[in-house]
Amino acid sequence: MSFHIAIDIGGTQLRAACYSSDKLSPTTLRRIFTKDPQSTPLERLINLIQSVWPENQTVSAIGLAAPGPVDIKRGVILKAPNIPGWENLPLCQLLEERFNTPAVIGNDANMAALGEWKYGAGRGHHDMLYMTISTGIGGGIIVDDRLLLGASGLAAEIGHVTIIPDGPLCGCGQRGHLEAIAAGPAIARWVEDRLSSGTASSLLNDQPVTAKAVSQAAKQGDELARQALETAGNFIGLAMTNFVHIFNPTAIVIGGGVSLSGGLILEPISKSLKKYVMNPQYLDNLVIYSAAFGDEAGLLGALTLARNFRPE
Amino acid sequence: MSFHIAIDIGGTQLRAACYSSDKLSPTTLRRIFTKDPQSTPLERLINLIQSVWPENQTVSAIGLAAPGPVDIKRGVILKAPNIPGWENLPLCQLLEERFNTPAVIGNDANMAALGEWKYGAGRGHHDMLYMTISTGIGGGIIVDDRLLLGASGLAAEIGHVTIIPDGPLCGCGQRGHLEAIAAGPAIARWVEDRLSSGTASSLLNDQPVTAKAVSQAAKQGDELARQALETAGNFIGLAMTNFVHIFNPTAIVIGGGVSLSGGLILEPISKSLKKYVMNPQYLDNLVIYSAAFGDEAGLLGALTLARNFRPE
């Protein structure tokens, strides 16, 4: 029996799971807080890996999903948002030395794409686009059965494409990016702007507004909330259309908190795609799915990475 | 000695060349008009191939660059603009039966990208973006040493991405696409609009304005012409930035008539890329080149396709 360990590194929690053979349910899964006054995040991560290690067994590879940009070739975390000190951290090398087993790393949105493609909603598709919409918009792209990484592993930043030149400020410092227009905070801000100019809504007594509250209000029939999701969905669909013209995929998988609004966001996306596509042929074999996994997509992507690891 | 034949199919002319072994200069190159009252384009193509066929030799494969969308898997031209009757034409099968040798096909912008990557400005790069700017804007993308095709071969329509929502009408029927804002006709229209509102320019007596005339006037110091290229370059750079965030390439190769304006268009593109990129790391290893080949890029891409052909 072979074992692989998958790790999902977040600013809030660290998760580790051990999987045997080709199973999808872990033999062991543990999660702990990333930060603690008693120990550093790296010490905590090492102890966590130790705690899911199969007794008296070897582990073929450790796969890691990390937040922020990573140098996948050298196995270095370039900068992990929300983990102080994790800059240019040669994490794979440190773990390889400590555990004497190969360690491979990818960024968390890419790993979620890989997980959805290998085991989830995108299974069986050769060309797939994965988009996660929550506080930010990220994603991953499968081209001809391979994850699109780019020369330095910085590819697939699909939330950082300009939709409205000189539009709203994005977290990255640029303007008018999809993330600045259609991620959770932008949806909440859109509603707040209209509330402050007097539009009626059940959300009026619920300020500051959150994307989650907008989603709940929309489900209960609130018109302003419904319009907010429709507006975001329209822009997401416009961006999707560009990606469809560029990648000609057969599946689009949508995950992240905002996607939990279901049809209230997916229908506007789909409608917008139909409206903006240049040639209906692009839609002939294209399906749009909700992600099969929630939080665990990244873990399953890291597992895929570990299972695909071949020594050079 | 092995031989390959490469074909470039255009609405105006058909070109065919025969290449020996791994040579880049053809042993024979012929071009004829696509249309003629005496014979159909297909008959003309077959005669043309016959005329470059090496005497008493076998040809390992025929590679074709075709305008418009093609079904690369089945070898079918879906619709060739400007060649009446060429709809759903199973060209590869027809040629294979006629010449008893394998025939492989790709669309012309993709083939030009392949030619520039294999033999031209993009040589040695694993991740490359090729954009051709002339009457339209097209391109091709190399991802990890492979041409991005998409599920039905419709990928890499990089001129058909929305830059200005609800912007100028594009030839494809949609609005605000890069092609509608920054291709040759858009550059000419931008100048004409300003001429008609009284802006001074050497182009005033040169109407209707063409992109070529704008380029020449800009080279001679005409301020309005220079601004026109700067405006187009800024939008092209904005689109490029999106592609850089998505593909993280190490080379961008720019071809087509408009690129012959040299620095007058390439510098605004480069400046815009620096302005809009979300993280300077994307530019660390990125170079922007003018295309090495003009018209012959498509032929060299078709040659690459033919040389890479392996029977299944």
DSSP H stretches of helix in chain A: 41-52, 91-99, 108-119, 178-182, 184-196, 211-219, 223-247, 263-276, 281-284, 297-308
Nearest to A140 by CA among A245, A63, A290, A253: A253
**CA separation, residue B281 to residues A159, B129, B133, B245, B284 (Å):** 17, 17, 26, 10, 5
B1 touches chain A (CB under 8 A): no
Task: Report the C-alpha gap between A258 and B54 in whole angstroms.
Answer: 62
Q: Convert the pLDDT of each residue in B261-270 to its tens digit.
A: 999 999 999 9
Question: Average pLDDT in the B273-293 region?
Answer: 95
Q: What is the mean pLDDT of chain B?
A: 95
- The topology (CATH level 3) of B3-107 is Nucleotidyltransferase; domain 5 (3.30.420)
Beta carbons of A158 and A138 less than 8 angstroms apart: yes
pLDDT interval class at A38 (50, 70, 90): very high
Strand partners, A17: A6, A29
Cis peptide before A185 (omega within 30 of 0): no
Contact list, B245 vs chain A (CB under 8 Å): 154-155, 157-158, 160-161
Task: Report the C-alpha gap between A117 and A127 in whole angstroms.
Answer: 9
Any idea where the domains of chain A sit in the sequence? 3-107+298-308, 121-290
Res. B306: pLDDT tops 80: yes
Nearest to A293 by CA among A279, A283, A303, A305: A303
Q: Do A162 and B279 touch (CB under 8 A)?
A: no
Question: Average pLDDT in the A216-228 region?
Answer: 97
CATH number of A3-107+298-308: 3.30.420.40
Structure tokens at A228: 């907010």
pTM of the model: 0.94
B181 touches chain A (CB under 8 A): no
pLDDT of residue A103: 98
Q: Convert the pLDDT of each residue in A144-194 to its tens digit.
A: 999 999 999 999 999 999 999 999 999 999 999 999 999 999 999 999 999
Q: Convert the pLDDT of each residue in B83-119 to its tens digit.
A: 988 999 999 999 999 999 999 999 999 999 999 999 9
pLDDT of residue A68: 83
pLDDT of residue B312: 62
**CA separation, residue A276 to residues A94, A159, A233, B158 (Å):** 48, 18, 13, 15
N- to C-terminal Cα separation, chain A = 23
Q: Convert the pLDDT of each residue in B7-56 to its tens digit.
A: 999 989 999 999 999 999 999 999 999 999 999 999 999 999 999 999 99
pLDDT of residue B295: 85
Question: Average pLDDT in the A35-49 region?
Answer: 95
In B, minimum Cα distance to A138 occurs at B246
- As a three-state string, the secondary structure of chain B is CCEEEEEEECCCEEEEEEEECCCCCCCEEEEEECCECCECHHHHHHHHHHHHCCCCCCCCEEEEEECCCEECCCCEEEECCCCCCCEEECHHHHHHHHHCCCEEEEEHHHHHHHHHHHHCCCCCCCCEEEEEECCCEEEEEEECCEECCCCCCCCCCCCCCECCCCCCECCCCCECEHHHHHCHHHHHHHHHHHHHCCCCCHHHHCCCCCHHHHHHHHHCCCHHHHHHHHHHHHHHHHHHHHHHHHHCCCEEEEECHHHHHCHHHHHHHHHHHHHHCCCCHHHHCCEEEECCCCCCHHHHHHHHHHHHCCCC
Q: Do B279 and A161 touch (CB under 8 A)?
A: no
Q: Do A157 and B245 touch (CB under 8 A)?
A: yes
Contact list, B117 vs chain A (CB under 8 Å): none
Q: Which residues contact B148 (CB under 8 A, 6 or more apart)?
A: A143, A246, A247, B140, B141, B142, B155, B156
In A, minimum Cα distance to B239 occurs at A162
Contact list, B250 vs chain A (CB under 8 Å): 151
Q: Do B157 and A245 touch (CB under 8 A)?
A: yes
Q: What is the mean pLDDT of chain A?
A: 95
B79 touches chain A (CB under 8 A): no
Q: CATH topology of B3-107 equal to that of B121-290? A: yes
Beta carbons of B65 and B106 less than 8 angstroms apart: yes
CA dihedral B298, A145, A279, A179 (to 10 degrees): -110
In B, minimum Cα distance to A167 occurs at B164
pLDDT of residue B239: 98
In A, minimum Cα distance to B238 occurs at A162
pLDDT of residue A58: 95
Q: Convert the pLDDT of each residue in A69-85 to its tens digit.
A: 888 889 999 888 889 88
∠ Cα A46 A50 A52 (to 5°): 120
pLDDT of residue A82: 85
pLDDT of residue A309: 86
Task: Give the number of C-alpha atoms closer than 13 A to the C-alpha of residue B258, restricted to the C-beta side.
Answer: 32
Please report the ipTM that was assigned to this predicted complex: 0.94
B146 touches chain A (CB under 8 A): yes
Residue A190 three-state SS: helix
Of B154, B161, B281, the CB nearest to A242: B161
A144 touches chain B (CB under 8 A): yes
Q: Convert the pLDDT of each residue in A75-130 to its tens digit.
A: 999 888 889 889 999 999 999 999 999 999 999 999 999 999 999 999 999 999 99
Nearest to B229 by CA among B252, B199, B257: B257
In B, minimum Cα distance to A284 occurs at B152
| B121-290: CATH architecture | 2-Layer Sandwich (3.30)
Question: Average pLDDT in the B242-267 region?
Answer: 95
pLDDT interval class at B241 (50, 70, 90): very high
B32 touches chain A (CB under 8 A): no
pLDDT of residue A312: 62
pLDDT interval class at A28 (50, 70, 90): very high
Residue A31 three-state SS: strand
pLDDT interval class at B179 (50, 70, 90): very high
Contact list, A141 vs chain B (CB under 8 Å): 246
pLDDT of residue B117: 98
